[in-house]
Amino acid sequence: MNRQSVTVLFASFIVPIALGAIGCEHAPAGGQQKPPDVTVVQAVERQVTETVEFPGRTEAPEAVEIRARVSGYLEEVKFPQGGDVKVGDVLFEVDPKMYKADYDKAAGQVGVYEAKVKRLRADVERNAPLAAKGTVSREDFEKMVGDRDEAIAGLQSAKANLEGAKVNLDYTKIRSPITGKISRNLITVGNLVKADSTVLANIVSTQKIYAYFDVDENSYLRYEERVRKGEIKPGEGDKGVVQMTLGDGTVIKGGTVDYIDVQLSRGTGTILVRSTFPDPEGSVKAGQFVRVRLPITPQTAVLVPEVAVGSDQGLKYVYVVDDKDKVEYRRVTTGGVHDGMQVIDKGLKAGEWVVVKGLLRVRDGVTVTAHREDAAKQ
C-alpha cells in the first residue's frame, strides 16, 4: 500500500469522527427531551337537559298550487322562476279580450237600466199629484210605479252582472295568494288554461319551516311530565331549545314544539310531533330529511369541551392530567352535546383536568408541561 492510499484511508476515518463530535456539542444535556406543552381545562358539573334525537322531515307552513279561476289561453308569465314573490304579485295573465268584452257589455246594460230608472222615477214623481186629484187614473199610475220598480230591479241585476264580469276580468291576472318562493312555470305561454283545473306553479312560504317527527311513547310521556310540572310551556318548546340538524351537519336552533297529535299510532307506538323553526333566509327546503333533538329530562352532568374527547375504534377516551402533570389515558362514556360541551356519563369526575390542545403530543404515562385554562375559553 503506497503513501497516498494510506492518507485517503486515514481521512475516511477522521471525517465521521469529527461530524460525531460536532453533533455531540448540540445534544441536550443528559440526553433528555423537554416535556410537551399541552393545554388542559377542568371538567365542570352543570345542569343540562337530556335530549333525544328523532329522524324527521321538513314541510312548509304554507304551500299553494297556483290555478287559474277563469279559462283561456295563457298570454304572459310575469315572475322569476325559483324566485321570491309577495302577496298580490301578478304571476300569470290569461288573454283578457273576451272577459273585457263581457265587462263592457255588462257596463252597457247598467247604463241602459240607470237611464230607464231615471225616466220612470220622473214619471212617477210628475204623475203622483195628478193621480191624487184623479186627473190620472189609478190603474195608469200603478202601472208607472210597477214599471219603475221593475226597472230598479233590472238595474240591480245589471250591476250584479257587471260585478261578475269585473271579477272574471280581474281573474285574468293570476296573483300570488302568499309570500314565499315560487317554482318554475308548469305551463308555457300559448297553452289553454282551464279554470280551477290547470296547475300553473307552486308556492311555498318562507321565514319559518316545520319539522314533523315521530316520538316513542316513553319519550313522549317524559316530555309531557315536564309540561305538567310547568318546566315546558305548551307551544314554546322549552323556550326554543329544540334543535334540528340538516344532512350536511348544519344545526338550526330555536325550534318550538307547537303541535302534538291527538293519538299514538297503534302500529308503531309513536306519536307525531311538529316543531317550528325560524328560517328567515329560506335556506331549508320542504321535504328535507333532518334529525330533531327534543329536550326530555333535566339532569346534573359532567361536561368537557368536545375537542377533549377522542375516538378509538368507536370507543371514546380523554387524556387526564393529574397534579404532577402526568397523563392518564381514560375510557369514558359520553352523552349528548350542549353548546359545544360534551356530556360525560361515566369515566370522569368534575374538577379533573383534561387535555384539549396538544393531543397528538401525549400518550398514557408521559409527563407534560400543562397550561391550565378556563373551559369557557375553548
- List residues bridging with 215 in a β-sheet: 271
CATH of the domain at 372: 2.40.420.20
**Based on the domain organization, do 120 and 248 belong to the same domain?**
no
Residue 236 sits in a domain of what CATH number?
2.40.30.170
> Nearest to residue 166, comparing CAs of 236, 77, 100?
100
Residues of the chain with pLDDT under 70: 1-32, 232-240, 375-378
Residue with grid cell 289561453, as numbered in its chain: 73
- The amino acid present at 2, given as its one-letter code, is N
- Beginning with the edge strand found earlier in the chain, give each strand of the sheet holding 199-205 in spatial order: 63-67, 199-205, 180-182, 84-85
- Are 182 and 228 part of one and the same domain? no
Whether residue 370 is found in the same domain as residue 271: no
CB 275 within 8 Å of CB 260: no
Helix (H) or strand (E) holding 199: strand 199-205
Query: Distance of CA 315 to CAs 91, 191, 249, Å?
Result: 57, 63, 22
94 plus 56 within the same structural domain? no
- How many Cα neighbours within 13 Å face the side chain of 75? 12
**Cell triple for 341:** 360541551
Domain assignment of residue 279, yes or no: yes
Do 106 and 71 lie in a common domain? yes
> Of the candidates 282, 298, 314, which is a domain's last residue?
298
Give CA–CA dist 211/60, Å, rounded. 9
> Among residues 255, 270, 298, which one ends one of the domains?
298
One domain for residues 171 and 278: no
The answer to whether 281 and 229 have CB atoms below 8 angstroms apart is no
**Residue 18 resides in a domain:** no
The answer on 148 and 91 residing in a single domain is: yes
Domain boundary pick from 204, 221, 236: 204
Interatomic CA distance for residues 195 and 171, integer angstroms:
10
Domain presence at residue 190: yes
How much is the pLDDT for 240?
60
Answer whether residue 16 is part of any domain: no
Domain count across the chain: 3
Measured CA to CA, the distance from residue 321 to residue 18 in angstroms comes to 43
DSSP bridge pairs for 213: 56, 273
Which uninterrupted H or E stretch holds 141? helix 138-171
d(CA 61, CA 209): 6
**pLDDT of res. 242:** 86
C-alpha cell at 145: 210605479
Query: Does residue 1 belong to any structural domain of this protein?
Result: no
Using the structure block, give the residue that is written with the C-alpha cell 377516551: 317
Task: Please count the residues of the chain.
Answer: 378
Answer yes or no: is 337 within a domain.
yes
Residue 333 sits in which domain range? Answer: 37-48+300-377
Which residues does residue 242 pair with via DSSP β-bridges, in sequence order? Answer: 255
Tell me if 17 is assigned to some domain.
no
The CATH number of the domain holding residue 108 is: 2.40.50.100
| pTM > 0.75 | no
CA 342, 343, 347, 351 torsion: positive or negative? positive
Residues 344, 243, single domain; the answer is no
Q: Phi and psi of 169, rounded to 5°?
A: -65, -40
Residues 193 and 147 grouped into a single domain: yes
Are residue 193 and residue 213 in the same domain, yes or no?
A: no
Same domain for 272 and 165, yes or no, is no
Q: CA–CA distance from 349 to each of 316, 325, 375 (Å)? A: 15, 17, 15
Q: Are 330 and 322 in contact (CB under 8 A)?
A: no
Please give the pLDDT value at position 234.
Answer: 56
For residues 55 and 109, membership in a common domain is answered with: no
Structural domain includes residue 79? yes
Rounded to 5 degrees, φ, ψ at 333 are -110, 125
